[in-house]
Structure 1
C-alpha cells in the first residue's frame, strides 16, 4: 500500500488528490472546497485551522494528526479511519459518514451537527470531552471503551447504536439515546444521568 502512494507536499484547494501520503509537519490552514481526497494517508501533521466544504474523503487513514478549529461542512466521509488524532474545536456540519472509525483519539470542544451515517460509525477508546451531538443519525454504530466528559446528545437517532463498555453516567440529553444497545448495569448509569439533569431539591426534614 505505502509503495503505491506518492508524497504530496500540499493539499489542493479544489479538485482531486488520489493515492497520496501527506506528512507535512505543520500547516497554518488546510482548506479545500468541492474536492475529493481518495485512497491516501495523512500522518504526523499539525494544522492550526482546517476548512473543508463539500469535500469527499474516501478510503483515507488519518493518523497522529492534531487539528485545531477544524470545520467540515456538507462533506462525505467514506471508509475513513482517524487513529491517535487530537481534534480540538472540530465541527462536522451536515456531513455524511459511512464506515468511519475514531480509534484512540481525543475529540474535544467539538460539535457534530446533523451528521448522518450511511454505514457504521465507531468510536473506540476515544476521549470525548465538551462535545455535542445535535440531531445526528448513528444507527448501528458503536462507542466502545470511550471516556465521556460533558457530552450532550440533543435529539437524533441512535437505534441499535452499541454503547456497551462506555460509562454513560455524565452524559446530558440521555433521553435522546432511546433505542441504544446497553448492558443491564448501564440502566443505572442512564438513570443517574437523567436525575443529574433535573433541578431536584432535597429539603431538610422540619421535624
Structure 2
C-alpha cells in the first residue's frame, strides 16, 4: 500500500495499475457501479451522477462546465487534471481518493465524509465546504483556497500544507488538532473558531494579525 505522510498523518493512496484499468467513455452505468476504469480527456457540457459507486479508477483531464454529484460513493480513485466548473457534490463518502492538479473554482461540497483523501496542487478558490467530516486522514497540500469557506465541518486531524489561505474563512466547526503549519495565516478569517489547532510558534504573529483585522482594531495615536 502506497502512502504519503503529512505532519502526523499518513494518507493511503489509490492502488491503481494501468494494466487492469479499462477505458470507458462515461462514468454512468445502468447498474450504478463503474469499476476498474480509466476515463480520460473528456470534454463535456455537464456531468450529472447520482446514487453511483466509482471503484478503483483514474479520471484524467475531463472538462465540464456543470458537474453535479449526489450520493456518489468513491473508493480508490484518482482525479488528475480535472477542470470541473460549477461543481456541486453532496451526501457522499470518499475513501482513498486523490484530487491532483484539479481546477474546481467556486465548487460546493456538502455533507461529505472523507477517509484517506488528498487534495494536491488544486485550485479551489471561492469554494464552499459545508458539514465536511474527516472520518480518516485528509489533507490539502499546495492548494489555492482564496475566499473559500468551511462551515460546520469536522476537520479533526486534517492537514493544510503550503496552501494559499487568503480570506479563507473557518466558521463554526470542529478543528481539533487541525494542522495549519507551513501556511501563511495572516489573512485568515474566523480565527476565533480555530480552537485547538496546531501551528508553529512562528505563526503566532500571523494569527494575531488575522485577529486584529477580523476585529477591526485600530491603534490610537499617543
Q: TM-score range by the shorter chain?
A: over 0.9
Question: For 1:7, which of 23, 46, 66 is the aligned residue?
Answer: 23
Equivalents in 1 of 2:130, 2:72: separation in Å?
17
Which residue in 1 is equivalent to 2:79? Answer: 62
Task: Provide the TM-score with structure 1 as the length reference.
Answer: 0.95
User: 2:165, 2:96 → 1: CA distance?
Assistant: 24
Within-5 A mapping of 1:57-136: 57-136=74-153
- The one of 181, 195, 209 equivalent to 1:164 is 181
Q: Show CA shifts across 1:50-72 (max 9, x none).
A: 10111101101000111110011
Deviating above 6 A after TM superposition, structure 1's stretches of 4 or more consecutive aligned residues are none
Where does residue 47 of structure 1 map in the other structure? 64
Structure with the larger strand share: 1
Q: Alpha-carbon deviation of 1:148? A: 1.2
SS in 1 for 2:27: coil
Q: Is the 8 A contact 1:13 1:31 kept in 2?
A: no
Residue by residue over 1:49-94, the C-alpha shift from the partner in whole angstroms, topping out at 9 and shown as x without a partner, is 1101111011010001111100111011111100111111111111
Q: Secondary structure of 2:165's match?
A: strand
Q: Are residue 17 (structure 1) and residue 71 (structure 2) matched? A: no
Match of 1:199 in 2: 216
Rounded Cα–Cα distance in structure 2 between residues aligned with 1:178 and 1:203: 29
Deviation at 1:13, TM superposition (A): 6.4
Equivalent residue number for residue 32 of structure 1: 49
Match of 2:10 in 1: none
- 1:204: how far off? 5.0
Q: Are the aligned partners of 1:99 and 1:119 in contact in 2 as well (CA < 8 Å)?
A: yes
RMSD of aligned alpha carbons: 1.3
Among residues 191, 194, 206, which one is paired with 1:174 in the alignment?
191
Query: CA separation in 1, counterparts of 2:127 and 2:137?
Result: 20
Unaligned runs of 5+ in 1: none
